[in-house]
Structure 1
Amino acid sequence: MSKPIIIGVAGGTGSGKTTVSRAILQRVGPSRIAYLQHDSYYRDLSHLTLEERAQVNFDHPDALDNALLIEHLDALAAGRAVAVPIYDFTRHNRKGETRTVHPQPVVLLEGILIFVDRALRERMDIKIYVDTDADLRFIRRIQRDIKERGRSLESVIDQYLRTVRPMHLEFVEPSKRYADIIIPRGGLNSIAIDMVVARIEGMLAAHGAQQPTVAGLTVPDDLG
């Protein structure tokens, strides 16, 4: 297999990255895409107590194990499967098991901070930034963290004011300048998604990649 096309999808919390990513998965075909999420690569914090882990600034780039992610991207590019960590957001730590991701013609990487790291950016062929108004992103963040991560409203607001918003302004928003494509309104922007998919299909055709042989995924409402 020739070197895969590596696509990065970034944007602030609740911007619609997951909707855009899964729309790409559905349209291009999951049988041709290796899907990685930056959130899987939060550092192992098993040496800390649960109370200490809860105080970690998970919105700072240092909270993520980019060295392991880069190792996995290079392995997929070389045609080797990787064991991706599974992160437990309720306990702020990695689980014992991993998820095997096999090499495919396209590697799709999604994450808030993926454009901050130069080594990650240099491995991407297409960089997409999903841009959504801050108030809508904040509402989605509240809904997701309460429903999926067992957080209280007070803890979500506290984390947002203490780390999420400051780190967004310091790291995430400035990284938008590295994007090749900026998608306003997130997953609601079907025209932009059409253009992205057409570009990917053109690159796959140039690589001689096979058409997908299995059905696509169902795209859920995005809270990510």
Structure 2
Amino acid sequence: DITGSLIFNPRVGDFEVRLGPIFANIVLADEINRAPPKVQSALLEAMQEGQVTIAGKPHEIPKPNMVIATQNPIELEGTYPLPEAQLDRFTIKILMNYPSYDDEVLIVKDTRLGRVDLVNKVVDSQDILDAMKLVDKVRIDESIARYIVSIVRATRSHPKVRLGASPRAAQMLGKLARAWALLDGRDYVIPDDVKQLAPYVLNHRIIVTNDDPLRVINEILEKTPTPMMAKALGMGYSNE
């Protein structure tokens, strides 16, 4: 059980809560589409609420908390497709291809790859929490916010999209654009931040008919008017 459960403790003659592996700063769920619906539902609560209910009592998950999941799109037997509501909780989706020839040779040669004991700590939890506070201070001009909303709303009216992105998609795209800007040394978001991140934020949030989601998203990005930085003001924006 990834969330935890009540375990009888014979020493005290009573039940006690034993927290599951979801109570961690980083949770890796391998092949999540093989998890039964009950487990997926528990994970959904943890990702959305930041807490897990055990025996009717809520237990807060330590912060910061990140869930990284993989799923195998090839094998269908024994899998449980993730519902749209749960997919929407994941901020981004990255498609993993085969490694390059040289990287695959390195995998064969280097027996140290994958050894956890060789991983060195570079930040602690408080460093991450402090960075998250800085992200919240990054500014998004109203024209950039309108640009984000226009992109997301375009997925709902596109003829090849059966299910468009939710308002949460716009919210996540804005948050991720702030973080991207901060990593680039800026305290404000520019249109290129949105353009670079939109495919990763939206590709798992839309359902298309007979087409590639990424192709549809790129088409929407090409057709949506881009806010341009005003030359005179430097920090102002105007619609092109």
TM-score using structure 1 length: 0.27
Higher alpha-carbon Rg: 2
Q: Which has the higher contact order (CA 8 A, sep 6+)?
A: 1
